[in-house]
């Protein structure tokens, strides 16, 4: 099948689609293409997830507007189904790959899931099919990893027997459907003609710019945009540390800085988590491995942001000391374990780092999160007998904490706020020793 024939099938919605990996990206992508009128097959290695999806139930918890209903509708109407067997992909015209691409402790990409998907797809790849990698990958990965695995495993050649592109997703938990449909995408094709075929496909679900590019440009854009965010957050965090030392308040400083034209200082906080920002700067850096390009800003930003949970421990230790309590043996309630507000996504959670540090120092740690299974329940009950509460995630439920009840339940009224979610003045009026990241301590201010 020629690329023109495939594009016509896509335009008529007659092309058969597949999505490999039905997680935070793949599942909503599959549901949106099903809604657009395509026959969509999802391949997922976790059988329990396959069974749940085929029952019309979303495996993604947290506040995810519209996803559960859309999934149920498309499964009921027979346009979307899931399977664990790659053999089912033999007749698929377009295959989207949405698997995880983490980095290891040495900041090297771990492409086990991507390699496994490509290795199993290659022998069943239909001649004339279009394969699109939506996963975020290091620059040069399309040329050095994806293309060779598909060509060697299928016995076919790209741009002759099949077509290959990458179109990195731009999503955030809590806004998956909205982001997929309303944010622009960079469409990287192996040839300009492949990019145009991809645009014809994405135009059916995306109401925003679709910019044609080549593989390397698409790889760079995605990793650069998240590295940019990481660097900006690191700057905000470092300013917060400066403000703490000087007796200032980063929250006030940020507000006033941003009144100046062309300024947009990011929010400081207790740490940076998720599947993208902690790893994508390292993917960008990996792309130039072996080349004579010195890296300074990316590693420094990563070090600053990775150090914020440890800084929260330091603030907590000082706050407890002010109350005459040692961190060792203190009962500490951590509020929020997901990396993002109103989500159940715990990938690279700063709270996980905080908890490990606290436990290593002898603290008795409890965790509450309204969205994470096994951590739910009543906040006030969880705070019974606590010496301190550390707020790590600005879940909506925590913005409306009943401070008097919380204070009454605690043994020692220490409250350390890593997201400025609490009204500090009211907390202090109620008797809390209230500390917030990026501002002068109560002791220093007195």
What is the pLDDT, as a whole number, of residue 443? 62
What is the pLDDT, as a whole number, of residue 446? 39
| CATH number of the structural domain 219-446 | 3.40.50.720
Whether residue 222 lies in the annotated active site: yes
What is the pLDDT, as a whole number, of residue 122? 98
pLDDT-flagged residues of the chain (< 50): 444-446
Classify 414 in phi/psi space as left (phi over 0), alpha (psi -120 to 50) or beta. Answer: beta
Whether residue 167 lies in the annotated active site: no
CA distance 83 to 20: 10
| Beta strands per DSSP E along 58-197 | 80-83, 94-97, 130-133, 163-166, 185-189
The answer to whether the pTM exceeds 0.75 is yes
What is the pLDDT, as a whole number, of residue 368? 97
Going by their DSSP bridges, the two strands 185-189 and 163-166 should be labelled as antiparallel
Q: How many residues does the chain have?
A: 446
Residues forming CATH 3.40.50.720 domain(s) in the chain: 3-213, 219-446
CA distance 416 to 313: 10
What is the pLDDT, as a whole number, of residue 445? 43
CA distance 23 to 135: 11
Catalytic residue among 35, 126, 222, 279: 222
| CATH number of the structural domain 3-213 | 3.40.50.720
CA distance 81 to 265: 44
pLDDT digit string, tens, across residues 8-49: 999 999 999 999 999 999 999 999 999 999 999 999 999 999
What is the pLDDT, as a whole number, of residue 81? 97
Catalytic residue among 167, 276, 279, 318: 276
């Amino acid at each position: 099948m020629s690329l023109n024939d495939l594009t016509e099938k896509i335009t008529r919605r007659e092309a058969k689609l597949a999505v490999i990996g039905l997680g935070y990206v793949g599942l909503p992508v599959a549901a949106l293409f099903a809604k657009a009128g395509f026959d969509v097959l999802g391949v997922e290695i976790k059988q329990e997830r396959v069974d749940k999806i085929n029952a019309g139930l979303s495996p993604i918890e947290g506040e995810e507007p519209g996803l559960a209903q859309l999934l149920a509708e498309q499964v009921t109407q027979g346009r979307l189904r899931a399977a664990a067997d790659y053999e089912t992909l033999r007749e698929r015209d377009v295959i989207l790959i949405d698997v995880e691409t983490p980095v290891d402790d040495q900041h090297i990409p771990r492409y086990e899931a991507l390699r496994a998907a490509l290795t199993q797809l290659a022998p069943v790849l239909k001649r004339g099919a279009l394969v699109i990698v939506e996963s975020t990958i290091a620059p040069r990965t399309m040329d050095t990893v994806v293309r060779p695995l598909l060509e060697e495993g299928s016995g076919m050649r790209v741009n002759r027997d099949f077509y290959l592109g990458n179109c990195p997703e731009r999503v955030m938990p809590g806004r998956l459907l909205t982001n997929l449909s309303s944010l622009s995408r960079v469409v990287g094709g192996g040839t300009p003609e492949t990019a145009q075929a991809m645009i014809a496909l994405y135009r059916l679900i995306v109401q925003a710019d679709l910019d044609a590019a080549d593989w390397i440009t698409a790889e760079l854009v995605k990793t650069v945009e998240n590295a940019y965010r990481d660097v900006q957050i690191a700057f905000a965090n470092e300013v917060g540390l400066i403000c703490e030392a000087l007796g200032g308040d980063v929250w006030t400083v940020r507000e006033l800085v941003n009144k100046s034209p062309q300024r947009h200082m990011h929010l400081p906080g207790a740490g940076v988590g998720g599947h993208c920002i902690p790893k994508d700067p390292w993917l960008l850096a990996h792309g130039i491995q072996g080349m004579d390009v010195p890296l300074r800003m990316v590693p420094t930003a990563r070090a600053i942001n990775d150090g914020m949970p440890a800084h929260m421990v330091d603030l907590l230790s000082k706050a407890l000391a002010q109350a005459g309590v040692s961190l060792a043996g203190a009962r500490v309630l951590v509020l929020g374990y997901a990396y993002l507000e109103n989500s159940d996504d715990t990938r690279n959670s700063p709270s996980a780092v905080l908890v490990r540090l606290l436990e290593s120092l002898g603290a008795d740690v409890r965790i509450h999160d309204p969205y994470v299974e096994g951590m739910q329940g009543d906040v006030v009950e969880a705070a019974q007998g606590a010496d301190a509460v550390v707020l790590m995630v600005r879940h909506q439920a925590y913005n409306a904490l009943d401070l008097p009840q919380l204070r009454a339940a605690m043994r020692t009224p220490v409250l350390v706020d890593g997201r400025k979610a609490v009204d500090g003045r009211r907390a202090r009026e109620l008797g809390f020793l209230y500390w917030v990241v990026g501002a002068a301590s109560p002791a220093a201010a007195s």
